[in-house]
């Protein structure tokens, strides 16, 4: 899955950012949960104490909660839920984050585990790899309404692009399940308590959602910090091949060779407005998600913003490019104030999509012109230039069009990742439009 021709970061940069990561990790580890409760602190990796200079915790996978799963009013009590995720960085220990952000009552898990998946699309684990999870030393944990918990650390060696199985079991009913709607992975459920099982035989029910799980962190001896991507369906990767790990953030992680890339894409997400009441699963505005989703990510050093196209094409449509640019400026400023390097992206073509209009195209072009002029972000990824059809620049290149004129093919997602100069994220040279 690697990409040929990646430019490696200089050794002096990696050493400097590792030092910065230690500081950022210390700050982020104390962030409150969504309801104001502190995220449960977890001890370091088991065994001998490891000095901070020899490693740090960093996010290796993430998913933004998109709402409460339909038809789960009383939760999924009496079932084991097995989530399948692909981490973007390796390490020697793991801890996981579970969320009840959209629950209506506390949810209690009496068992949880993490293990290595045998292969994509399977609930089977690698033999002897399933490890029980604890929370504050106990097997059971209750997550309050709107709350988040972080497990204790467990020793588990993982490599970049490894798929993990994270399983939880709630014996009784609870409120609606907090979920991420478009996983692009096959996830599983089983009747009864099967979290410790290597076999996937009991996991006969499948789902396209991630349930309760919102993050996986690894203890890395030399991580340069995490790149967090805040975006919409283009980042969520809803047109990528299921189970293939072909979102543009997956391709980017492969290019960065072990640097964590955290995907916080939500389909339909807008920069300036929350999802409408009938489409609450489109998430809160990108401006508010900086605080609820981005800043809680362990080891975050860089924020990439891929937002704005839904403000143009979704009703009520934003007719003023200045409003979108002002929103991006605010997002960038608040990200910098929180210690992040903030990189933006131009808005990609979408002529041929049912919501395209000449007025909307004019807004898109003006937004892109103002972003290219500089002054908004610390750097800019020109996704428009990378994916447009040179013969018809308001459209995607046919090879990159999944069929709806908006969402890319796997090749298009790869092209998005290849449009990123790693040095731009690292800030080792003056920020410039690619």
pLDDT digits (tens, 9 = 90+) for 261-286: 999 999 999 999 999 988 999 999 99
**Which pairs from 3-11 meet CB under 8 Å and 24+ separation?**
3/251, 3/254, 3/255, 3/414, 3/417, 3/418, 6/255, 6/256, 6/257, 6/422, 7/421, 7/422, 7/423, 8/257, 8/422, 9/224, 9/422, 9/423, 9/426, 9/428, 10/428
The rounded distance, in Å, linking the Cα atoms of 147 and 104 is: 11
Looking at residue 426, its pLDDT comes to 82
The count of other CB atoms within 10 Å of the CB of residue 29 is: 17
Nearest partner of 83 among 71, 104, 69, judged by Cα: 69
Cis peptide before 12 (omega within 30 of 0): no
Looking at residue 428, its pLDDT comes to 52
Whether 414 and 401 have beta carbons less than 8 Å apart is answered as no
The rounded distance, in Å, linking the Cα atoms of 43 and 234 is: 36
Q: In tens digits, what is the pLDDT along the chain, a chain of 434 residues?
A: 322 222 233 332 333 333 333 333 333 333 333 333 333 333 344 333 344 457 899 999 999 999 999 999 999 999 999 999 999 999 999 999 999 999 999 999 999 999 999 999 999 999 999 999 999 999 999 999 999 999 999 999 999 999 999 999 999 999 999 999 999 999 999 999 999 999 999 999 999 999 999 999 999 988 779 999 999 999 999 999 999 999 999 999 999 998 999 999 999 999 999 999 889 999 999 999 999 999 999 999 999 999 999 999 999 999 999 999 999 999 999 999 999 999 999 999 999 999 999 999 999 999 999 999 999 999 999 999 999 999 999 999 999 999 999 999 999 999 999 999 999 998 754 434 33
The rounded distance, in Å, linking the Cα atoms of 263 and 283 is: 14
Q: What length is written for the chain?
A: 434
Q: How many helices (H) and strands (E) does the chain have?
A: 10, 23
Looking at residue 100, its pLDDT comes to 98
Whether 299 and 219 have beta carbons less than 8 Å apart is answered as no
Looking at residue 10, its pLDDT comes to 33
Looking at residue 207, its pLDDT comes to 97
pTM assigned to the model:
0.88
Q: What is the pLDDT of residues 163-173, one digit of tens each?
A: 999 999 999 99
104 burial via Cβ count (<10 Å: 0-12, 13-18, 19+)? middle
Looking at residue 393, its pLDDT comes to 98
DSSP secondary structure letters along 169-217: EE-S--SPPEEES--SS-EEEEES--TT-S--TT--EEESSEESEEEEE
63 burial via Cβ count (<10 Å: 0-12, 13-18, 19+)? buried
Looking at residue 26, its pLDDT comes to 33
Question: Hey, what are 239's tokens?
Answer: 């047109």
Question: Hey, what are 84's tokens?
Answer: 């399948």
In SS3 terms, 20-59 reads as HHHHHHHHHCCCECCCCCECCCCCCCCCCCCCHHHCEEEE
């Amino acid at each position: 899955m690697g990409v040929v021709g990646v430019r490696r970061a200089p050794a002096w940069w990696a050493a400097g950012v590792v030092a910065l990561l230690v500081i950022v990790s210390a700050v982020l580890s104390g962030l409150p949960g969504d309801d104001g409760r502190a995220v449960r602190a977890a001890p370091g990796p088991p065994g001998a104490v490891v000095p901070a200079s020899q490693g740090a915790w960093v996010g290796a996978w993430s998913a933004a909660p998109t709402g409460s799963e339909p038809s789960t009013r009383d939760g999924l009590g009496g079932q084991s839920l097995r989530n399948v995720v692909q981490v973007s960085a390796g390490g020697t220990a793991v801890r996981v984050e579970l969320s009840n952000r959209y629950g209506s009552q506390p949810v209690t898990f009496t068992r949880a585990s993490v293990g290595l998946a045998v292969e994509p699309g399977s609930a089977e684990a690698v033999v002897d790899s399933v490890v029980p999870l604890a929370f504050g030393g106990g097997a059971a944990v209750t997550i309050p309404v709107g709350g988040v918990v972080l497990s204790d650390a467990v020793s588990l060696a993982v490599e970049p692009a490894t798929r993990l199985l994270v399983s939880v079991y709630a014996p009784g009913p609870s409120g609606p399940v907090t979920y991420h709607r478009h996983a692009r992975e096959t996830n599983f459920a089983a009747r009864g308590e099967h979290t410790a099982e290597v076999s996937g035989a009991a996991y006969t029910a499948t789902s396209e959602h991630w349930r309760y799980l919102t993050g996986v962190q690894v203890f890395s001896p030399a991580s340069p910090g995490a790149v967090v991507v805040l975006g919409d369906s283009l980042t969520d990767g809803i047109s990528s091949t299921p189970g293939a790990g072909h979102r543009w953030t997956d391709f980017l992680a492969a290019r960065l060779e072990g640097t964590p890339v955290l995907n916080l894409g939500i389909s339909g997400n807008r920069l300036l407005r929350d999802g409408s009441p009938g489409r609450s699963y489109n998430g809160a505005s990108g401006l508010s998600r900086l605080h609820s989703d981005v800043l809680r990510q362990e080891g975050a050093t860089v924020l990439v913003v891929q937002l704005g196209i839904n403000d143009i094409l979704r009703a009520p449509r934003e007719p003023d490019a200045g409003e979108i640019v002002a929103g991006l400026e605010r997002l960038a400023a608040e990200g910098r104030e929180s210690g992040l390097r903030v990189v933006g992206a131009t808005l990609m073509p979408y002529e041929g999509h049912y919501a395209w209009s000449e007025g909307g195209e004019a807004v898109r072009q003006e937004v892109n012109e103002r972003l290219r002029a500089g002054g908004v972000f610390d750097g800019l990824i020109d996704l428009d230039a990378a994916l447009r059809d040179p013969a018809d620049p308001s459209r995607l290149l046919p090879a990159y069009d999944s069929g709806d004129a908006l969402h890319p093919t796997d090749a298009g997602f790869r092209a998005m990742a290849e449009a990123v100069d790693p040095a731009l994220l690292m800030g080792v040279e003056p920020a410039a439009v690619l």
